Structure 1
Amino acid sequence: MTSPALTIGCFQYDTTRSLFDGSVSADGVDVTMETAATLPDVFDRVIRGNEFDVAELGLTFYLRLLETGLPYVAVPIFPNRVFRHSCIFVNVHSGISEPGDLAGRTIGEFGVYGQDSGVWAKGILMDEYGFEPARSRWVIGGLDRPAAPFDFIPHPHPREVDVTVAPEGKALGPMLESGEIDALFSANVPQCVLDGSPNVARLFPDFEPLERDYHRRTGIFPIMHTIVVRRELLRNRPDLVHGVYRAFSQAKDAGAERYRQNRRLYEVQTMVPWMNALVERNGQDFPEDWWPYGIAANRTTLDAYLRYHYEQGLSTRLWRIEDVFAPELLDT
């Protein structure tokens, strides 16, 4: 008897490598793994093309479409998480040296007002420093190359927030370097920073201690993306969601185990000096499962994100976790 086929679209991470190499799979399912050159490409294929049975999707993209009948439902699998104090960049000649200096300034954001990284960065600044997004002007565009805002999702924002599109032929990274914008909230590091431009710096240059302190105080490890499953599949095969959850969990655990085992070899499988010291230092701040899936271990983080999304005018209602994720996995 032929096993049912399942197409999964996501990025290749440590958390998903074992799914791509076939060492982990969903029981009784013939899985085909697909990816794309960029994450927005994956999201576009999910939203506009409905190409995958199971896919990675940014939390904000999922929430924006949840009210309009998206044919997917989220499961509490989180392959992409990043602390976000480090994602705020400023022109060094702008006079911005602390969060309060962002008021009245022009700030760029890649692709959409309120990317997952931007939702987190704004939310953290609002909670910790009294930041008010409506007091700044926002410009949306491509990061290192000119690009129109994403056209595969809605673009809600509060009426009082000034949001415009970058001028034709302009990209946000070069605009930051030249001083055409004062700051940039970005999921990716702009090329001018990678090239060592003297005109651009992070708002928080020594971000690691700040992010570690934030994690210790709040228990929050910011989640960027979730995994979604086609609703029709769950209606026809309600057992499938548990198989998908187990497969992604096993792949994530296999990735973590590689780091644990390679401590014996000082993590020499990487080219990063002192990687072993970093892994050991992280062990002081994180429990044994430092990248948890499921609802219980992530409730604080998810509640914060849902609140930020609503407070920033990206949701018309304050979503509850129980409204957002597949009911079959609410007890995870």
Structure 2
Amino acid sequence: MSETHPTAPLTVLLGDYPHTRPLKDGTVAVEGVGCQYLESSPLPPAFARMVRDLAYDICELPMATYLQARDAGIPLTLLPAVLVGSTHHRSLTRLPQDPEIGPGDLVGRRVGVRAYGQTTGLWVRGWMQEEYGVMSSDVTWVTTEDVHVAQYVNPPYVERSGAERVVDLLRSRDVSAAVLGPKAIGGQGAGLVPLVEDAESAGLAWTERHGTVPANHLLVVRDDVLRTRPDSVLNFYRALNKAIADTAGERDDSPAGRAVTAGWSASLAACLEIAGRYALEQGLIREPVDVGAIEEKTAFLDR
């Protein structure tokens, strides 16, 4: 990492979504600031580079990675924007030919997940404890990748597998169920069956109960960039806010559509509070999350 010169372009890493494309293609300009939009396909390696090497000025980052980075003292600040989100009751899956089991049947069993620090896993384990009484330590979590934050050490009930994909753990019968993120559900997870009956309704009930939609990907800025170039960060945030507003018609009223937002709100605060509580319960972080302190650092963006 090197200090960003006040007139240098901001290096920005964003996924490719309808609400980020206007920034990338210049349809929505960032006033007075040049931006170098970098790409990573797939995205997860870029998340690791951000929290390990501070590789970008501004970067999309998963919720769990952000919470773990903050807990580890990595100098990043949350910008109030949700780029990806949805409910995750359909994310806990099994092979269609396997015996029918529910989330409560997973106590003492093995469950596959890309990494213990994957955000989808954070949300799934959260509702499993909340709705079925299954704690993280009741399950052996079998992973195919390391967590993004290098300082974190997995708890003893997490096991690393040599498999390349989570679905391979299911097919080899190494696990009874698997947690798959939104993209994987339509990819490697095609044809898998949710353990939760009527998973969509269960997810909607969660959002109604909590007054928020689970956020998967947020946005962070390096602390040194926020400190030395606050106006540049503000102008970038305003442009992103406009891009999100301008593309509102491209999103439906599903949880995934409603999750995409910019600005501090009661919904975002609730989302951070719940995710922080889940992360603490699951041993992903060591200290409770102070949402007020997080908001205070960038409250000026919405003034």
Aligned: 1:302 with 2:272: yes
Q: TM-score, normalised by structure 1?
A: 0.79
Within 5 Å, give how 1:1-332 maps onto structure 2. Answer: 4-92=8-96, 95-110=99-114, 112-141=115-144, 148-150=145-147, 153-159=150-156, 162-166=157-161, 168-169=162-163, 171-187=165-181, 188-189=184-185, 191=187, 193-194=189-190, 196=191, 200-204=192-196, 206-258=198-250, 279=252, 282=253, 291-297=260-266, 298-325=268-295, 327-329=297-299, 332=302
CA contact (8 A) 1:86 1:207 kept: yes
Instruction: Look up the SS of the partner of 1:127 in the other structure.
Output: helix
1:163 deviation in Å? Answer: 1.1
Higher alpha-carbon deviation: 247-256 or 236-245: 236-245
* C-alpha spacing 1:302/1:180, structure 2 compared with 1 (3 Å): same
Q: 1:221 to 1:47 in 2, by over 3 A?
A: same
- In structure 1, what is the Cα distance between the partners aligned to 2:152 and 2:53? 19
Answer yes or no: is the 8 Å Cα contact 1:8–1:33 preserved in 2: yes
Q: Conserved in 1, the CA contact under 8 Å of 2:82 and 2:259?
A: no
State the AA in 1 paired with 2:88: R
After TM superposition, give the deviation of residue 138 of structure 1 in Å. Answer: 1.3
Q: Deviations over 1:163-189 (max 9, x none)?
A: 1111x3564312202322101112122
Quote the sequence identity (%).
27
Structure 2: which amino acid aligns with 1:102? L
Shift in CA distance, 169/211, structure 1 to aligned 2, threshold 3 Å: closer
Query: Where does structure 1 lack aligned partners over 5 or more consecutive residues?
Result: 142-147, 260-278
Q: Kindly tell me: are residues 29 and 170 of structure 1, through their superposed partners in 2, closer, same or farther at Cα, counting changes over 3 Å? A: closer
Question: How far off is 1:330 after superposition?
Answer: 6.8
Deviations 1:257-299 (CA, angstroms, capped at 9, x unpaired): 345xxxxxxxxxxxxxxxxxxx4xx28x899x76332222311
Q: Does the C-alpha gap of structure 1 residues 307 and 42 become closer, same or farther in structure 2, counting only changes over 3 Å?
A: same
Aligned residue for 1:274? none
Count of residues in Structure 1 that have an aligned counterpart in Structure 2? 294
What CA deviation, in whole Å up to 9, does each residue of 1:200-244 have, x standing for no partner?
Answer: 421125322222222223212001121111211222122233222
Residue 25 of structure 1: how far off its partner (Å): 2.5
Structure 1 CA distance, aligned partners of 2:227 and 2:286? 27
Deviation at 1:50, TM superposition (A): 2.5
* TM-score of the pair, normalised by structure 2: 0.86
Match of 1:62, SS state, is helix
SS at structure 2 position matched to 1:79 = strand
Unmatched tracts of structure 2, length 5 or more: 1-5
The Cα shift of 1:326 comes to 5.9
**Kept in 1: contact 2:83–2:217 (CA 8 A):** yes
Distance 1:125 1:50 in 2: 33
Cα distance in structure 2, aligned partners of 1:314 and 1:325: 21
Alpha-carbon contact 2:102-2:195 (below 8 Å) kept: yes
Describe the superposition over 1:290-329 as per-residue Cα deviations: whole angstroms up to 9, x where unpaired: 6332222311111111111111111111111133356132
Matched position secondary structure for 2:247: helix
Q: What residue in structure 2 maps to residue 145 of structure 1?
A: none
Residues 9 and 33 of structure 2 are in contact (CA less than 8 Å); yes or no, is this contact kept in structure 1?
yes
Q: CA deviation at 1:158?
A: 4.2
